[in-house]
Amino acid sequence: MIHMSNEAIYNLDRRSRSEDIAHTTEKLLSRHETVARNMAAISINPKDLVREEDPNDIYSIDRVQHDLQYVDKMQQRFAESDNEKLPNGLTFKEVRQLAEIAEYDLIRGINLGGWIPHGRAIKTSDFDDIANGVDLVMEIGGKQSSIGHLGLGVDVSFSLNLQKKFQRIKEEIDAYDGRLNRLGVVKYFQSQAAGMRGELSGLPRVVTAFDLGVLEDMAVKSEQLKGHIGQALMITTMQKQLSVFHEYALDVNPACAAQLQRPLNMIGAISQMTNSKERLESSEYTKNHKADDAVEAGLKLFM
């Protein structure tokens, strides 16, 4: 393994980063049209789950149509704020598009770059993204009997505010009872690998936050995602968050701690297999510090 000094990392960062946020954003957003088209193709489509011969099925056409109307209404509401500007100079529309690019590259890293051994990222429907706050489902395991699922929330850090996401996680842990309150829920789910079609519940959530510099790196190295430092960033933050959530649950809701134990064990094993913590430390990679700070601020809710 080649190790670089702090000064070398700094100089590399200076050469490879765009000079300002506007320039970086312009470069990244040039990908969005292609990304949006690909994301639509790989997302779960509630209509594909309908069995028209069974009107009592959980995915009856009437129920699906009702949820799709909700999605249309919410997307219209989002569009009303498209041109509003945030303090960083970006519009809400640009922020949403950058978040979608981050999500897409994370999926590509997992599914094409092999970031999670025996793992797959499944893009949820627009309904579950909006209504249930689950952007991706991580499916881990090679056999039906051993497959587990982990709900992923994906964000980019230039908002510097992940508090609402972590507050939702905290409230779900506090309320968990295994019946009415079951952590994260995905209403529309289908997996050939797991042999299931139906609602997926009991999903622990984690937040993967990438700074603009990381997104730019992944865009530049889009064909070389295998072994990309984004893998180590993702795995280490997932492990840290699940550890904090588990410790918090042990204190406030032990029943939920048991629910968090299995995914924590899975991610811990994956971290060891991929040597993620050591790789990240030895790389001295500095481009995700704002995102890391935003995650740390969110985790203070559990202290």
| Digit-coded pLDDT (tens) for 43-70 | 999 999 998 777 788 899 999 999 999 9
In a domain, 145, yes or no: yes
In a domain, 268, yes or no: yes
In a domain, 27, yes or no: yes
What is the residue range of 231's domain? Answer: 6-302
In a domain, 1, yes or no: no
Q: Would the CA dihedral through 125, 131, 134, 137 be positive or negative? A: negative
Compute how many other C-beta atoms are within 10 angstroms of the C-beta atom of residue 202. Answer: 17
| Token pair belonging to 139 | 């499916």
One pLDDT digit (tens) per residue for the chain, 303 residues: 433 333 333 333 443 444 567 788 888 999 999 999 999 999 999 999 998 777 788 899 999 999 999 999 999 999 999 999 887 788 999 989 999 999 999 999 999 999 999 899 999 999 999 999 899 999 888 666 567 777 777 666 555 678 999 999 999 999 999 899 999 999 999 988 888 899 998 899 999 988 888 888 888 766 678 889 999 999 999 999 999 999 999 999 999 999 999 999 999 999 999 999 999 999 888 888 888 999 999 999 999
- For β-strands 205-210 and 148-156, DSSP reports them as parallel
Residue whose C-alpha is closest to residue 109's, from 166, 154, 59: 154
| Token pair belonging to 202 | 């009991």
- Return the exposure string of 22-55: e unless at least 16 CB atoms fall within 10 Å of the residue's CB, then b: eebbeebbebbeebeeebeeebbbbeebbeeeee
CA distance 139 to 52: 28
pTM: 0.87
- Helix 163-175 with 289-299: angle, nearest 10 deg: 30
Domain count, the chain: 1
**Residues 6 or more apart in contact with residue 181 via CB below 8 angstroms:** 172, 175
In a domain, 290, yes or no: yes
pLDDT single digits (tens) 247-289: 999 999 999 999 999 999 999 999 999 999 999 999 888 888 8
